[in-house]
């Protein structure tokens, strides 16, 4: 068997849509699984939409997701150029082959591809006129995902527009032939184009590649596939929101593919090892940001605190919570407490705000709930002297001091904890309480408690 060669052929539009990212990822995974070649080919013939800035969004998104390509922009290759706008001489050469074989004709200023078969006319109710059709032999597509698909083209179709620009069907097939593409992995919405493409492959005397049409990604709620306007549709947004590329890549790999067990979190080497066409679903996949967020949280919580702090630092700085030269030891102490509780880097600034500034929002519902059981100011007034008297400000010393005080009042030590947490953070939940006090420091803890009581 010849070496597998797959391609991702996007048209840069200024966005890196999750559907495009999933197509790129499935091609990349299959290339890596088979020790094949992953080609990045840019369909940039629309000069108005396909700007350098649009291309950069795509390139940066691919790099962020860790999808390297073996041939294409930035790396070159022996089958270039890898921009359609630079391949016109190749298209001219292949168009001449079709003309010489008698498979084209001109009409209305355009060049049409001529199907083989008996011709007849039929009245078209939509066009309100007689049109010519062809009894062409059915095209059989042994799709690696969909199975056997049989379609028949019944009308000739345009391959070069009257403005001289070749159409998608023609350049797509020519590029796949010229670049030796062996497998075409693309969205199910391209299945309707495939019979045209097979007709062109046959006309060139070239065996078509293996087709694998993957299921669509449906929007989170309601009918229809995800569009760029739907929440969660753009890859670049995940980067700016502090999602981890590994988590996003892991989640997207499961949109239409599964490893045939219940696992969801897998490292990329394991996904590469398992990825193959039999694992791709026929049914469409529905995007679920909650599942993506949960997976992202798993990745965050398994990370070492140094890496976590490296990722969190710019986010905390942007939120105005730290300066660029903020103490690294203090930041890591805070994050070692918050890492296991915060659901995302995006939520981290609000989750840990009270560690970095004395002005923070007090949750009124939490305050009211605490006040129903006892006056929090009275409880805290009792324990301020206890905290003042602790010499070595450690979690163990705090636990011992507070337990001794609670016992003297014939109370449970946990009766003081909700009011203590609320006065120090404004919240009803968060990191473990006593380690939280230790990180905040004795001086800051006492200042906040006294301000709350006053």
Residue 128 — very low, low, confident or very high, per pLDDT cuts 50/70/90?
A: confident
Classify 419 in phi/psi space as left (phi over 0), alpha (psi -120 to 50) or beta. alpha
Q: What is the mean pLDDT of the chain?
A: 94
Domain boundaries, the chain: 1-86+215-302, 87-214, 303-355, 364-453
pLDDT at 231: 79
**pLDDT tens, 69-120?**
999 999 999 999 999 999 999 999 999 999 999 999 999 999 999 999 999 9
Q: Which residue has the tokens 């070069």?
A: 160
Q: What average pLDDT does this structure show over 398-409?
A: 95
Task: For the domain made up of 1-86+215-302, give the CATH fold.
Answer: Rossmann fold (3.40.50)
Active-site residue set = 228
Is the Cβ–Cβ distance between 319 and 349 less than 8 Å? yes
Question: Which of 263, 243, 87 has the alpha carbon at shortest distance from 165?
Answer: 87
pLDDT at 229: 79
CB atoms within 10 A of CB 283: 9
Answer yes or no: is pLDDT of 436 > 70. yes
Q: Of all helices (H) and strands (E), which one includes residue 157?
A: strand 157-160
pLDDT at 432: 95
**pLDDT tens, 347-377?**
999 999 999 999 999 999 999 999 999 999 9
pLDDT at 348: 94
In CATH, which of 1.10.8, 1.10.540, 2.30.29, 1.10.1330 is domain 303-355? 1.10.8
Q: 102-106: which pairs have CB atoms within 8 A and are 24 or more residues apart? A: 103/203, 104/159, 105/156
The Cα–Cα gap between 429 and 453 comes to 20
Residue 1 — very low, low, confident or very high, per pLDDT cuts 50/70/90?
A: low
pLDDT at 47: 67
Answer yes or no: is pLDDT of 45 > 80. no
Same topology between domain 87-214 and domain 303-355: no
The Cα–Cα gap between 397 and 395 comes to 6
Q: Domain 364-453: state its class.
A: mainly alpha
CB atoms within 10 A of CB 451: 10
DSSP tally for the chain: helices H, then strands E:
18, 13
Bridge-based pairing of strands 129-135 and 118-124 is: antiparallel
Q: What is the separation of C-alpha 184 from the centre of its chain, rounded to a whole number of angstroms?
A: 21
% of the chain at pLDDT higher than 90: 87
pTM, entire model = 0.89
Task: For the domain made up of 87-214, give the CATH fold.
Answer: Rossmann fold (3.40.50)
The Cα–Cα gap between 46 and 287 comes to 30
The Cα–Cα gap between 83 and 132 comes to 36
CB atoms within 10 A of CB 267: 11
Is the Cβ–Cβ distance between 217 and 256 less than 8 Å? yes
Answer yes or no: is pLDDT of 327 > 90. yes
Q: What average pLDDT does this structure show over 59-66?
A: 96
């Amino acid at each position: 068997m010849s070496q597998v060669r797959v391609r991702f052929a996007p048209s840069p539009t200024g966005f890196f849509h999750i559907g495009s990212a999933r197509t790129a990822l499935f091609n990349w995974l299959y290339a890596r699984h088979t020790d094949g070649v992953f080609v990045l080919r840019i369909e940039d013939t629309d000069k108005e939409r396909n700007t350098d800035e649009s291309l950069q969004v795509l390139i940066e998104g691919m790099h962020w997701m860790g999808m390297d390509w073996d041939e294409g922009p930035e790396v070159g290759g022996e089958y270039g150029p890898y921009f359609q706008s630079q391949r016109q001489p190749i298209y001219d050469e292949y168009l001449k082959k079709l003309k010489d074989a008698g498979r084209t004709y001109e009409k209305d200023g355009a060049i049409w591809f001529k199907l083989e078969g008996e011709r007849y006319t039929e009245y078209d109710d939509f066009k309100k006129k007689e049109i010519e059709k062809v009894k062409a032999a059915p095209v059989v597509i042994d799709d690696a995902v969909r199975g056997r698909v049989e379609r028949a083209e019944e009308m000739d179709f345009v391959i070069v527009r009257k403005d001289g620009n070749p159409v998608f069907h023609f350049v797509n097939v020519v590029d796949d032939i010229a670049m030796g593409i062996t497998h075409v992995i693309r969205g199910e919405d391209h299945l309707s184009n495939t019979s045209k493409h097979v007709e062109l492959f046959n006309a060139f005397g070239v065996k078509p590649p293996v087709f694998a049409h993957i299921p669509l990604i449906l929007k989170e709620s309601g009918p229809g596939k995800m569009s760029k306007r739907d929440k969660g549709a753009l890859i670049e947004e995940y980067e700016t929101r502090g999602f981890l590329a590994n988590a996003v890549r892991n989640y997207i790999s499961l949109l239409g593919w599964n490893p045939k067990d219940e696992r969801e979190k897998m490292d990329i080497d394991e996904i590469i090892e398992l990825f193959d066409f039999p694992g791709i679903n026929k049914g469409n996949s529905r995007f679920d940001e909650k599942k993506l967020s949960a997976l992202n949280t798993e990745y965050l919580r398994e990370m070492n605190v140094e890496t976590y702090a490296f990722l969190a630092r710019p986010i905390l700085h942007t939120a105005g919570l730290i300066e660029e030269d903020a103490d690294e030891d203090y930041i890591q102490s805070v994050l070692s407490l918050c890492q296991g509780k915060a659901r995302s880097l995006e939520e981290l600034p609000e989750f840990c705000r009270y560690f970095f500034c004395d002005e923070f929002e007090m949750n009124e519902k939490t305050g009211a709930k605490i006040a129903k059981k006892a006056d929090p100011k009275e409880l805290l007034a009792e324990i301020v002297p206890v905290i003042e008297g602790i010499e070595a400000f450690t979690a163990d010393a705090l636990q011992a001091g507070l337990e001794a005080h609670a016992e003297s009042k014939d109370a449970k030590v946990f009766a003081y904890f909700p009011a203590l947490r609320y006065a120090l953070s404004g919240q009803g939940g968060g990191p473990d309480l006593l380690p939280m006090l230790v990180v905040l420091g004795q001086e800051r803890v006492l200042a906040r408690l006294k301000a709350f009581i006053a």
